[in-house]
Structures are given as C-alpha cells and as structure tokens.
Amino acid sequence: MFVQNYYQNFEDNDPNIKLLYAVKSTNNTVSENSVICGPFIKLYYIISGQGFISIDKENFALKCDDIFLINSEVQHEIIINKNQNLEYIVIGISGINFLVETSGNYQKVNLFHHHCHSDNKEILFYIQKILNEFNEKNEYYELICADLLKVVILTIIRHADSSLTIAPSLKLDENTNLVKDYIDINYAKNITLDDLSSIALMNKYYLVHEFKRLTGFTPIDYLITTRIEASKALLETTNKPIEDIAKLVGFKSQSYFNQVFKHRTNETPSHYRKRYFK
C-alpha cells in the first residue's frame, strides 16, 4: 500500500515540514469567533474543556485528548459556548497536506480527527515540548521543533484509526520555494518585494506571477497573511499590548496594523481579542 511505502521511504522522501508557530489558548467564554483560514495546516490538541470546530456549517465536538488536523486553505472556526472552558494547543505547519484513504484512493480532506487513548498520550508530551521550545527560543530550538514535529505527525499516522498519510504541499520550483521559506521564517522582519526578488534570483514581476501561480498568493499577500495569522495567535493567547503585537509580527505601526487587520478580518484587533477574553 502507499502508506507502507511512505513509511519505508520516509527518510529518502523527507517532506519539507516547517513549524510556523505554537501557542496555548485558554478561553473562558466565547459566543462567536471569526473565521480562521491560512495557507498552512493547523493541528489542534484539546487539553481540557468542550467546544466545537465548525467547517462548512458542520460542527465537530471537541473533547479532552482530541486531535484535529485542518488542511491548508480550509475555513473554520472554534466555537465555545457561554459558561464553558476550552484549553488547547494549536500548531501551524507548512510544507505538507494530509491525505485520507477513500475507496482505495488517497484524497485531500478538510479535516482529520484522532482521539488519543491512554496508549498514545506521548503525543501530548511531544506537543508540549514543541510549545516550550518555541516559546523559550533557546539555541537550536528550530531544529529541535522540526524533529519533534515529525515525531508528532508520524505518531498520529501510526495510531490513526483510518488510513492517514501526508504528502508535500504544492511543490514550488526551487527559487520560489526559497522565497516562501524565507517568509515563513522571517515574516516579522522588514521585507520588501525587492528583497524577495534578490533571494529568488528573478525579476520581481516574474516572481509575483510564478509565486501566485503556484501558491494562489502574491509574495506580499502571503507575507501579510502570515503576519495576520501570527498576530491572531498572540491576540488569542497573550495580554501583550496591541502595539507590541504589531511590532512583533512585522508591522511598523499600530495604526497600519489596525487598518490591515480590519481589512482582512472585518474587525479591529481589540474587538478580535475580546472574543477570547472576558
């Protein structure tokens, strides 16, 4: 089977898995949330509490020790009813999509659910280790996180009830992939299209054409999307001032951050934060 071959050849076909962020969220009361969507996978591990993930008007219950994988470009929202608590860790992952076997064929799906039983609680240990490494950012943390993330993904595949595997996301040519990788790692820096053109060693107008053809985004749009997703994670899980968050994710001023955030989400950062805090 394809999955067996993938296990056997994983070392030779090592996918370009990248950790974009890892955050822990504790919500006490949220009546509604804005729709979440990004050009990368999100992995949710439910630590405690109850709630729902909503995709295409279908709600999926969240329970302790549930894992939900949401494929890239899939709009979804976390719903927490009043008087309920929900604590979870969410990890952003680029470079892959996950596939599920259906009628003998592997297809990309919106969502994959796995419940961790007592015999595979080690997944939570690895995820918490990723969270700690990402937050502390000690020497070599990126390499450690990358290896731990592969362990998490392969452990989920090993214990999955149905046939689950992963495949590289849309393969970019080498130079364009360098640009995407650079944005994923350095989105908080001051990045211009000229900078990205120099990295790709191609005319900036051709870079825009190729990047959009292969990813669906222009380079700058991808950069802004990545910054906004990173800011959402900080708004949801920290008490940092909005001005500080704007700088941490790469915006030069809070006013410009507010303008872009509202344009992208139809609400201000402060209003978005209120959904997650009393």
Where does the pLDDT of residue 123 fall: very low under 50, low under 70, confident under 90, or very high at 90 and above? very high
Q: Which residues contact 116 (CB under 8 A, 6 or more apart)?
A: 65, 66, 67, 123, 124, 159
Q: Are residues 212 and 122 in the same domain?
A: no
Q: Are residues 200 and 132 in the same domain?
A: no
Q: How many residues does the chain have?
A: 278
Q: Are residues 185 and 159 in the same domain?
A: no
> How does pLDDT run across 196-228, given as a tens digit for each residue?
988 887 778 878 988 888 788 999 999 999 999
Highest mean pLDDT among 6-15, 84-93, 200-209: 84-93
Q: Distance between CA 60 and CA 38 in Å, rounded? A: 19
Q: Are residues 90 and 209 in the same domain?
A: no
Asked if the model's pLDDT at residue 32 lies above 60, the reply is no
Last residue of a domain, one of 143, 168, 193: 168
Stretch 231-243: mean pLDDT = 92
Where does the pLDDT of residue 21 fall: very low under 50, low under 70, confident under 90, or very high at 90 and above? confident
CATH number at residue 6: 2.60.120.280
Q: Are residues 9 and 144 in the same domain?
A: yes
Q: Are residues 187 and 151 in the same domain?
A: no
The parent domain of residue 8 ranges over 2-168
Q: Are residues 186 and 253 in the same domain?
A: yes
Here the tokens at position 82 are 């009043």
Q: Are residues 183 and 160 in the same domain?
A: no
Last residue of a domain, one of 124, 146, 168: 168
Indicate the pTM of the whole model: 0.64
DSSP string, 211-225: HHHHHSS-HHHHHHH
> How does pLDDT run across 37-85, given as a tens digit for each residue?
666 789 999 999 989 999 988 999 999 999 999 988 788 888 887 777 8
CATH number at residue 252: 1.10.10.60
263-271 contacts, C-beta under 8 A, 24 or more apart = 264/224, 264/225, 264/228, 265/34, 265/228, 266/34, 267/34, 269/231, 269/235, 269/242, 269/245, 270/242
Q: Are residues 145 and 222 in the same domain?
A: no
**Above pLDDT 90, what percent of the chain?**
43
Averaged pLDDT score across all residues of the chain: 83
> Among 62, 248, 135, which residue's Cα sits nearest to residue 269?
248
Last residue of a domain, one of 142, 168, 194: 168
Q: Distance between CA 35 and CA 45 in Å, rounded? A: 19
Report the C-alpha dihedral over residues 2, 90, 148, 124, rounded to 10 degrees. -90
> Looking at the 3D structure of the chain, how many domains does it have?
2
Q: Are residues 110 and 19 in the same domain?
A: yes
Stretch 136-162: mean pLDDT = 88
Q: Distance between CA 23 and CA 225 in Å, rounded? A: 18
Q: Are residues 147 and 14 in the same domain?
A: yes
Q: Are residues 87 and 129 in the same domain?
A: yes
Stretch 187-195: mean pLDDT = 94
